[in-house]
Structure 1
Amino acid sequence: MTATVLRTQLSGVWRRPGRLLMTGLSVLVAAFVVFGTVLAYAIVTRTTLDTFSETPEAVSVVVYANGGEPLSPRQVGEIRTTAGVTEATGRVTATFTVGDASSGTDLELLADPGSGPLSRITLISGGYPRAAREIAVDRRAAGRLGVTTGGTLRLNTGDRTAAPVTVTVTGIVDGPRDAAERAWAPDRVVTGISGTPGLPRVDILAAPGADLSAMMSGLSDRLLRDPMAYLSVTTGETMRVREARAAVRQFDQLFALVAMFVGIAVVAAALVATSTFRIVFAQRLRQLALLRAIGAQQGRLVVALAVEGAVVGLVTGAVGVLLAQGAGLAAPAVAGLFGRTVSGPGMPVGAAVAVVIGAGLLTAGAVLAPAFAAAGVSPLQALRSASTLPAERGIAGTRLAGGLLLSAATGGMVWVTVRSMGSSEALLYLVGVGAFGFGTLIALGPVLIRPILAVAGWPLRTAGPAGRLAVSGIGGTPRRAAAVSVVVALGVTMLAGTVVGISSLQLWTDRTMASRTPADLALFAEGGGGLDDVLARLRADPRFRDVTPFRMADFSTADGGFSHGAIAVDMGAMTELRTLSAASGQVDALGPGTVVLSASAATDFDATVGDVVTLHSGGMVRAEVVAVLTGDGPLRTGAILTPADLDALGGTSAGILADIATGGRDEALAAFRSAGNPAGAEVAVLADERDKADDEVSSLFAAAVGLLGLTVLIAAVGVGTTTGLSVLERTREFGLARALGMTRGRLRLMVGMEAGLYGLIGAVLGIVLGVPMAWLALESLRLDLPLTFPGGRLALIVLVTAAITVLAGLLPARRAARVSPVAALAAD
């Protein structure tokens, strides 16, 4: 009997391949996403291993410090005199700022021989540095710093107690592409400028035909005589592979994050599959009841339905894997059209089989609850003329009790999370809040549908009969609406929480950048002489606005343990400075004998508003603290003083801040420099740092939205599938509506509105759950980010989600409108 029942169910599946595809569409999408992620990781890994190399191909042997002291000049000399060594060059990187020590432009100085097989750069103009305090800069750095061959730069180490180093630019070079400004010089020049003798690494070029093993043994014998020497000797090829693998490992955390979002998408696919099978089985109640009437036991029906689900999962999972494999194989050709080179993903058969089997198991598990419900139908149901059971208006008492219990558990977890704010367990408790909260949503969803629909559906009721019918259609099947909307809510919850978190991060970044980079451009001059004429020319140039002078000085605490910068600037002269926020006190209370401290300086002084602090430099200033900022002061300073108090400190420098009013940044930068350049002055493009911070936040936002979009995509698939199956189920209803005069256009509109309502209800539930979760996360994890409510972005999420679900219902709506009234009324 079991085999007969199984054949009956599977024959229906094969006779209707379209129904099979519709039923398992969410699983197909999930399989495509999972296997696509596997292939993407393979592509990134292979491409990195094939193309990445910080070590030039000509390098034969590498000697590097393995966690100990760098190689001394004596050890470098022994390397160069080892038999078989043709050339040896050190690798070291030092970081400086050009202009002000805190707010100048960052510049990386790298060691390179400048020519030959061990070099990574190409000289464009001028000559490569050979003498002390000479450097060559790459083209990007030359443009940003406004320096040409023969010019000079002042390099600051970041230590305010150390004097800047003035270097001469001897040439312009092309090197490996990087977002940072870079300069290059021989290893001995770099160590001389940085003041740190010793090299962390030396690259060696072996003579043609040299025995690398013998050379490495000789190097080990000479370098490892000292038992305290922690050095390693390896081949260049090994180092290249190691660097490539290290570069690949940096993607592991990224793909681990991607895997988490993919897991959420798989959960959404399982929920969609459960809802879909519930509808499909409800449409076959008469068939199932007849099987019960002729002797099929409930257990055998459950097994048959579970097998049917597994078959659907295996087939659609295989299709998803094949589609993903095709996209992966096409990736190199597509990348080639855009001038990029990527490696193919290969064919990971094991992963493909695992994804297909996982799809089958996922669907078999998702079908169990609907299978038990459908198999439990009474044989007397076979005598009913309708193909579906009447819609149940409420939920069972056990489900209601379970939902209330989950709701109480959610509240308890919130209380525990609040009590543990800042502890290492807070994240674990947050996960519990999310799990219990979403469980509550699943259990009580049918109860929540009607009040939400009463509010969300009000505008549709005013749209005429189509709108009223759409609202009543959703309200008449609250369980189905809840099952579909909860999947949408899952994606929107994650999306809303992410938007709130990133909006808070954006606000914090804007506040931080407002103090660190209060202008687009800055000119720093040591003495300050000649700035009056430059200031006048810049203020007369329409390409600039808010041109403001400033003066700076260094100071330290009474014990000399902490050093900061102080600034005197008109706080109301620039837009960014007017937005400077204080954690306590009032910034505009600044006056003679008072000071505004940064957060770090206030910590170093152990001072709060109302305390008197003493600033030590060439002179001494005692001032009352009138405000403590949330972060740094302007240009990363630690204190804001009046000009008179700053003069009392002594040793001041001066400069000019300006925003770009019109024209491009490069054009404005050239005009800013042409206005005048007093001796020893440097120009910094502060807007670059602000743009970099904004780009990082924007990239994070785009990546998060893209990954969470997978869940919304699967939810949209669920809406489309549910709407399509609902159209098949309600053929006679639509035929009656058409017979009573409803036009095809209004019928399409009604079905589209129903699909949109699924998304709208889910979006509302997601916002209600996601925003408090995000606030709780920010507070409990002590991230010190301001709590925000990005109403515009959240409203956009609701509208876009509703629009996506409307689009998902377009095809079923067209199918419903094409049925003739006569044929629909004759259908069973």
Structure 2
Amino acid sequence: MFRTALRNVLAHKARLLMTVLAVMLGVAFVAGTLVFTSTLSDAFQKSSQKGFDRVDVAIQPRAQDDRGGAPGAGPRLDQKLLDAVSRVPGAASATGTVSGFTAVADKAGKLIGNGFSTRGGNYFPGADGKDARYPLRNGTAPKGPHEFALDAHTADKAGYRVGDTVRISVDGPVREQKLTGVFTTDDGTVAAGGSLALFDTHTAQQLFATSGGFSEIDVKAAAGTSQSALKAAVDKVLPKGRAEATTGKQLADDQAKMISQSMDGMKTGLLAFAGIALFVGIFIIANTFTMLVAQRTRELALLRAVGASRRQVTRSVLLEALLVGALAAATGLAAGIGIGAGLRSLMSATGATVPDGPLVISPSTIVASLAVGIVVTVLAAWLPGRRAAKIPPVAAMNSVHATATTRSLVVRNTIGALFAGAGAAGVLVATGMADGKAVMSGGAVLLLIGVFILTPLLSRPLIALAAPVLRAFGISGRLARQNALRNPRRTAATASALMIGLTLITGMTVIAGSVQKGIDKMATDALKADYVVSMASRTPLSPDVATKLAGLKEVTASSPLRNAPSRIGTGATAATEYLTGVNGADFGKLTRLDFRHGSLGTLHGGRAVVDEATAEEKHWTVGSRLPVTYEDGKKGTLTVAGVYRGNEMLNGIILDNATLAPHQQHPTDMQVMVKTKDGATDASKNALVKALGKNPAISIADKKDVSEGIAQMFSLMLNMLYGLLAMAVIVACLGVVNTLAMSVFERSQEIGMLRAIGLDRRGIKRMVRLESLVISLFGGVLGIGLGVFFGWAAGELIAGSLATYELVLPWGRMGLFLGVAALVGVLAALWPARRAARLNMLAAIKAE
């Protein structure tokens, strides 16, 4: 039976080619994902470990205890502790570090680096006057408040040299600093495309608001002292409850674990799409083996007649699948390694530099890729093999095509109806639940399976709708319709592959468009302000920015939004809550809050307004008096004046800054809302930009920019989905090619007869193309219909948290998707149609 299986594989090389391609693409996606994420993770881990080479023990402030005391930030590490640690037995040196966000502008005034990875720190010279962490390539170390040093990668990219004046920003206002030195570094964020600016320690402490302290103290062990021994010695001098020590090895391990976990999310997402491509490929494999088995029915019957058992027949089909799967998996693995290398190069080409490192091809990647390809192929071929073995030898010898029995069709349609009904019911029930994600996911899977099972039944009425159009193409159109309906199971399996991809694409498009509409409406409804000013990195903004904007003649009203931790309540029931401070006099002119109870009025003194979700959770109502412990430990009382409906832009406890600011040691703003005399015009925006020094670190956004910023995540995710799901559509296209090619081979006699009685080659080509077009459009209609239903259902859940959510049906894009389905049909038919037209009519008539 093994020799028989091998002979059959070699005899049907061309017919199995599409199956090999389908499996290969899926395996290549899996292997490429595993190679890419492993390579990326390994490169970042090794890069981060280099940063801990000079750190044997790190001292960090202990996290603030939430059980009592002032709710402010934890205590800083001071110079006294640094001196004490440097004298610990076994310590060779101790370095105090300070860090924070620092934006560096290029010569065109644009921000260098990637958002949060644009950092600043301190140059901490040792006894020799040098900082071993940052060897200077050119120039000297920074000294004084107007000097700084820049990493070599950023300096070279921006074209800066020692002596240049560079515009930077730490918390909003522009600073002009003299570049005194360019240094090299192993810092992982710099290697990944970020920037690092260094100041002298005193300047860094002032810029990053550490009040003469440090954010971390790094200790280097003397020769012969282990990290654990040094940590034990350091622990003895640490102030109780204020700081904690960690070994460099533990920090490196934690960093590696964090990097690995961050890669896991990307890996899971990419593997999910690889799984979709493989799932679509299952239809192609099952279709291929179904047709191959049908064409070899007499051969298999003869094997049964000469003594082969059912199990042996099934085993021979599975052996064929095993050989095909092994070949496809090996080819896919090789292609996947290339994809992994290509993705890494692509990241570098787009500016997201990846640390240097080898391409990582782990044994688990090889095993997983080969196993996936082989298992998927064998499983998909099992059902056709089992079906072939169940055909009685005498019946098989009498008929090449064994038609499905009425009983099997009734059973199939009954099962499909039950699955589809249960799935639809689950989805509908989930739309009315507070948290129905799990129920909706389960219902969607059941509905998808049910529709797939019912697809042969659905094919007849839906394809019949195309009859009037097909009649216009004469005999070719009528034959195309009959051919599409001749084997409903095959048509269904082919169309289902395309249906799955279009269901996901359409569903996500409906959700993304509806969310975008809801966010646009929210920005329009909630904001009266013309502009929202914030740091591009979403880091805190200096209060000087709000002061400068408020003094402009173009500005009629402005308010900073300032967050500060506090403790609400007394005793054991007290809990940490963040307070949002605003300009009470102007806040009502800049926002339009939907109040459920009470009103905004004028915020002053102890008046505060609370969002509805917080009020319900805490059982607060209008008039409730809230005991509050501020950031500095002082106590007060807030009175709830109103309860409003929160949104993505405004929520929480809002009060006047005049009440909040006195309790903040270092006030910072998250954003500033601004209303101008002439509204949101180019002139108004230019005035704000000019007033803030054309600062690249500051974002000045109007309502449209605000809504696009919130919806940016959805747009990015949608674009990624389009790219990734294109793989499933490509595999589905291969499925249509495969089905048509096999169908042409199976109908060789019929095509020969049609040629003999007068149908020309052009008519044969048109027949095959129209058949392909009908099958593809059938899958496209089903996919788009299911996608719209799933998009509507998911939107009902989203509407619970986004009050302004509004269902939007993207008719233009859905028309485009249907056009893509039609294009798939046209392209997929090119080779089979040409092959059918070139058949020799006499040889085709004589073919078995």
Question: Conserved in 1, the CA contact under 8 Å of 2:18 and 2:735?
Answer: no
State the partner residue of 1:371.
385
State the partner residue of 1:290.
302
Does structure 1 residue 827 correspond to structure 2 residue 833? no
In 1, Cα distance between the equivalents of 2:137 and 2:285? 62
State the partner residue of 1:417.
430
Instruction: Return the match for 2:742 from 706, 725, 730.
Output: 725
State the partner residue of 2:37.
41
Question: Conserved in 2, the CA contact under 8 Å of 1:126 and 1:170?
Answer: no
Shift of 1:150: 11
Specify the SS of the correspondent of 2:391.
coil
Specify the SS of the correspondent of 1:213.
coil
Specify the SS of the correspondent of 2:742.
helix
Does structure 1 residue 526 correspond to structure 2 residue 543? no
State the partner residue of 1:619.
none
State the partner residue of 1:430.
440
State the partner residue of 1:90.
96
Specify the SS of the correspondent of 1:62.
strand
In 2, Cα distance between the equivalents of 1:570 and 1:625? 14
Does structure 1 residue 248 correspond to structure 2 residue 244? no
In 2, Cα distance between the equivalents of 1:471 and 1:581? 59
In 1, Cα distance between the equivalents of 2:549 and 2:32? 60
Shift of 1:820: 2.9
Question: Conserved in 2, the CA contact under 8 Å of 1:83 and 1:215?
Answer: no
Instruction: Return the match for 2:373 from 354, 359, 362.
Output: 359
Q: Specify whether residues 443 and 12 from structure 1 end up closer, same or farther in structure 2 by C-alpha distance, changes over 3 A only.
A: same
Shift of 1:436: 1.4
Specify the SS of the correspondent of 1:724.
helix
In 1, Cα distance between the equivalents of 2:698 and 2:370? 60
State the partner residue of 1:538.
none
State the partner residue of 1:318.
330
Instruction: Return the match for 2:807 from 765, 768, 788.
Output: 788
Shift of 1:183: 7.0
Shift of 1:440: 1.0
Question: Conserved in 1, the CA contact under 8 Å of 2:123 and 2:131?
Answer: no
* Structure 1 residue identity aligned to 2:335: L
In 2, Cα distance between the equivalents of 1:653 and 1:15? 73
Percent of aligned positions that are identical: 24
* Structure 2 residue identity aligned to 1:498: M
- Could you give the per-residue CA deviations for residues 662-693 of structure 1, whole angstroms, max 9, x where no partner exists? 89xxxx9878655x679x9x975337877655
State the partner residue of 1:543.
none
Instruction: Return the match for 1:71 from 47, 72, 77.
Output: 77
* Structure 2 residue identity aligned to 1:260: A
Question: Conserved in 1, the CA contact under 8 Å of 2:593 and 2:645?
Answer: yes
Q: Specify whether residues 393 and 179 from structure 1 end up closer, same or farther in structure 2 by C-alpha distance, changes over 3 A only.
A: farther
Q: Specify whether residues 794 and 567 from structure 1 end up closer, same or farther in structure 2 by C-alpha distance, changes over 3 A only.
A: farther
Shift of 1:555: 11
- Could you give the per-residue CA deviations for residues 532-590 of structure 1, whole angstroms, max 9, x where no partner exists? 4xx4xxxxxxxxxxxx754448899xx99955435999999xxxx9xx998689xxx99
State the partner residue of 1:708.
725
Specify the SS of the correspondent of 2:51.
coil
Instruction: Return the match for 1:32 from 14, 22, 28.
Output: 28
In 2, Cα distance between the equivalents of 1:480 and 1:598? 66
Choose 38-47 or 770-779, whichever is displaced more: 770-779
State the partner residue of 2:277.
265
Instruction: Return the match for 2:491 from 481, 486, 492.
Output: 481
Does structure 1 residue 752 correspond to structure 2 residue 766? no
Does structure 1 residue 452 correspond to structure 2 residue 472? no
- Could you give the per-residue CA deviations for residues 343-386 of structure 1, whole angstroms, max 9, x where no partner exists? 443443454244334433332222222123223334344554x7
Instruction: Return the match for 1:686 from 681, 698, 701.
Output: 701
Shift of 1:525: 5.9
Q: Specify whether residues 126 and 571 from structure 1 end up closer, same or farther in structure 2 by C-alpha distance, changes over 3 A only.
A: farther
In 2, Cα distance between the equivalents of 1:780 and 1:661? 37
State the partner residue of 1:498.
508
In 1, Cα distance between the equivalents of 2:265 and 2:62? 25
Shift of 1:433: 0.4
In 2, Cα distance between the equivalents of 1:677 and 1:406? 62
* Structure 2 residue identity aligned to 1:201: E
In 1, Cα distance between the equivalents of 2:330 and 2:692? 68
Shift of 1:255: 0.9
Does structure 1 residue 404 correspond to structure 2 residue 417? yes
In 2, Cα distance between the equivalents of 1:439 and 1:767? 16
Does structure 1 residue 797 correspond to structure 2 residue 807? no
* Structure 1 residue identity aligned to 2:816: L
Question: Conserved in 1, the CA contact under 8 Å of 2:123 and 2:200?
Answer: yes
In 1, Cα distance between the equivalents of 2:742 and 2:678? 63
Question: Conserved in 2, the CA contact under 8 Å of 1:32 and 1:324?
Answer: yes
Shift of 1:725: 0.9
In 2, Cα distance between the equivalents of 1:599 and 1:627? 7
Specify the SS of the correspondent of 2:59.
strand
In structure 1, list runs of 5 or more residues that go unmatched. Answer: 99-104, 157-165, 536-547, 615-621, 641-651
State the partner residue of 1:17.
13
Question: Conserved in 1, the CA contact under 8 Å of 2:588 and 2:602?
Answer: no
In 1, Cα distance between the equivalents of 2:389 and 2:438? 39
Q: Specify whether residues 721 and 250 from structure 1 end up closer, same or farther in structure 2 by C-alpha distance, changes over 3 A only.
A: same
1:165-176 correspondence to structure 2 within 5 Å: 170-171=177-178
State the partner residue of 1:308.
320
Q: What is the Cα-based RMSD across aligned positions, in Å?
A: 5.4
State the partner residue of 1:202.
217
* Structure 2 residue identity aligned to 1:398: V
In 2, Cα distance between the equivalents of 1:153 and 1:24? 56
In 1, Cα distance between the equivalents of 2:214 and 2:678? 41
Specify the SS of the correspondent of 1:396.
helix
In 2, Cα distance between the equivalents of 1:211 and 1:244? 26
Shift of 1:272: 2.4
State the partner residue of 1:280.
292
Question: Conserved in 1, the CA contact under 8 Å of 2:419 and 2:449?
Answer: yes
Shift of 1:766: 1.8
In 2, Cα distance between the equivalents of 1:711 and 1:598? 53
Q: Scaled by the length of structure 2, what TM-score is found?
A: 0.71
In 1, Cα distance between the equivalents of 2:220 and 2:602? 65
In 2, Cα distance between the equivalents of 1:598 and 1:762? 56
Question: Conserved in 1, the CA contact under 8 Å of 2:512 and 2:714?
Answer: yes
Specify the SS of the correspondent of 2:463.
helix
- Could you give the per-residue CA deviations for residues 185-235 of structure 1, whole angstroms, max 9, x where no partner exists? 4555555553667544223467xxx41626874564244245845522434
Shift of 1:729: 1.0
Shift of 1:260: 2.7
Shift of 1:761: 1.6
Shift of 1:819: 1.7
* Structure 1 residue identity aligned to 2:415: G
Shift of 1:479: 1.4
Q: Specify whether residues 531 and 37 from structure 1 end up closer, same or farther in structure 2 by C-alpha distance, changes over 3 A only.
A: closer
Shift of 1:812: 1.9
Question: Conserved in 2, the CA contact under 8 Å of 1:511 and 1:581?
Answer: no
Question: Conserved in 1, the CA contact under 8 Å of 2:530 and 2:674?
Answer: no
Q: Specify whether residues 637 and 531 from structure 1 end up closer, same or farther in structure 2 by C-alpha distance, changes over 3 A only.
A: farther
Shift of 1:437: 0.6
* Structure 1 residue identity aligned to 2:808: F
Shift of 1:659: 8.9
Question: Conserved in 2, the CA contact under 8 Å of 1:129 and 1:171?
Answer: no
* Structure 1 residue identity aligned to 2:716: S
